[in-house]
Copies of this chain bind each other. A is one copy, B any other.
């Protein structure tokens, strides 16, 4: 039987590969061209599933079971902060291992102490002092799981450390963050008298510095936290690049993170994962997806301004299909970086190059290679059989949306759902909301497992059931063939936290 053949092959492969966890394989996001560095380098972190699943080696192996695609959830005696629910399932064979990763952490934001000043990324010390910070992350890897694993281990620490640097501002949330800081971190007020050596003094000048500077934007603490998160994503990306010289860190990953800090939920998304809030069975989208289609104009603009990045093989102009040589001189529909609509242009030699953005929907690709346009890693991803790097077209900066938890009332069935694209490809926002709401309404509000059971239910629906013609949903449509990872996070969770 086909199924058992796959199964046996898998066990062998997985068994043999586990310790090193880097190898060449491609998924639907990558047309290939991924080089994973010299095989002699050790992995930065070994392959595994999230620590909070607490898998035995046997269960870890079972988790890569493509034939039965077990839905893994938290154990009954495990507890994540806020009673967070979690479930995951591996793909239907498109990659050897589950390239999704996840993390869920409670951390504490502290001023960098003398002792730790130079050791960022330290393990969280558990003395419970500092400003509490909750973190949830889902990382959808492609072309290897190295970047996703590393991000799941370190991104939250980077965010915590960056927040530590503005800890003194967080401790005074009602005061406006100073625009300028002295080296010791205290607010620096440019003085009118003493500082005047550089500029001739105007005898009529008003000494009030806000008037003197003509304009001073007021920056909120909230936008400082957004800046911290954006900066931490960039640093995570830089760290992957840097450590690639010493370790094998394969592939890249989409990164979706939710951060709870001082009553606000910050949802940061770089890629095609998605998060929604379900409140009173209403859907509030908390992310936009970043794909070749949604970021077409940004990418075309870069290709237009920096044509050397296209390596003489691609054109920044989009066409609705490939052009044949025989069509030179004819007119064809096109759009460039500035257009939303389409117009006809006369085809010239240069238009015969492959379009930078090509394909529709889930099949849209940047330079025929990758189907997402934001994320971490991918530093040495190249167009197949060429020396053209994809990375300049990818952004590691997330879009951050803020939801004010404290300003809204939440019942036990109001949740944030975070999931990788495997979930959303087959289940719409509305269907997810209906399924979760229906499940939770039938479930004892005091059951510590209720959010994990809701997550599991979601995954069963989206994965489908294996029939002769593949994994099928109840409506006979094809289920998700992708890895799926989902968090179901109760919004009233921080109130119940002890």
Interface residues of A (CB under 8 A from B): 165-166, 177, 179-183, 188, 190, 195, 197-199, 213-219, 223-231, 234, 298, 301-302, 305-306, 319-322, 324-327, 329-333, 335, 338-344, 358-360, 363, 395, 397, 399-400
Contacts and interface: CB of A to CB of B under 8 A. Distances in A.
Contacts of A224: 333, 341-343
A330 B180 contact: yes
Q: A225, A231, A342 — which one has the most chain B CB atoms within 10 A of its CB? A: A342
A356 to B, nearest CB: 15
Given A180-B330, A320-B219, A338 B301 contact: no
A195 B326 contact: yes
A395 B340 CA distance: 14
A358 B217 CA distance: 10
A324 B198 contact: yes
B360 A215 contact: yes
Contact of A400 (B166, B195, B225, B340): B340
A453 to B, nearest CB: 36
A332 B179 contact: yes
Contact of A341 (B230, B326, B343, B363): B230
Contacts of A339: 227, 230-231, 397
Nearest to A190: B324
B227 A341 contact: yes
A322 to B, nearest CB: 6
A266 to B, nearest CB: 9
Nearest to A233: B338
A344 B226 contact: no
A322 B216 CA distance: 8
Contacts of A225: 341
Contact of A179 (B180, B214, B216, B333): B333
A451 to B, nearest CB: 30
Contacts of A180: 327, 330-333
Given A180-B327, A183-B330, A216-B320, A340 B399 contact: yes
Nearest to A178: B333
Nearest to A304: B305
Contact of A228 (B332, B343, B360): B343
Given A183-B330, A341-B225, A343-B231, A322 B399 contact: no
A160 to B, nearest CB: 15
Contacts of A397: 338-339
Nearest to A180: B332
Contacts of A302: 305
Contact of A342 (B219, B329, B332): B219
A335 B198 contact: no
Contacts of A183: 329-331
A224 B343 CA distance: 6
A343 B327 CA distance: 51
A360 B217 CA distance: 7
8 contacts: A179-B319, A182-B330, A213-B321, A214-B322, A215-B321, A219-B333, A223-B342, A340-B400
Contacts of A229: 341
Given A198-B325, A213-B321, A302-B305, A226 B179 contact: no
Contacts of A195: 324, 326
B321 A179 contact: yes
Contacts of A400: 340-341
B190 A326 contact: yes
B181 A330 contact: yes
B227 A342 contact: yes
A341 B398 CA distance: 11
A217 B344 contact: no
A77 to B, nearest CB: 39
A181 B180 CA distance: 60
Nearest to A165: B344
Contacts of A359: 215
A283 B199 CA distance: 51
A401 to B, nearest CB: 10
A496 to B, nearest CB: 30
A227 B331 CA distance: 15
Contacts of A338: 230, 234, 395, 397
A213 B330 CA distance: 17
Top 4 A-B pairs, shortest CB-CB distance: A226-B341, A227-B341, A217-B320, A227-B343
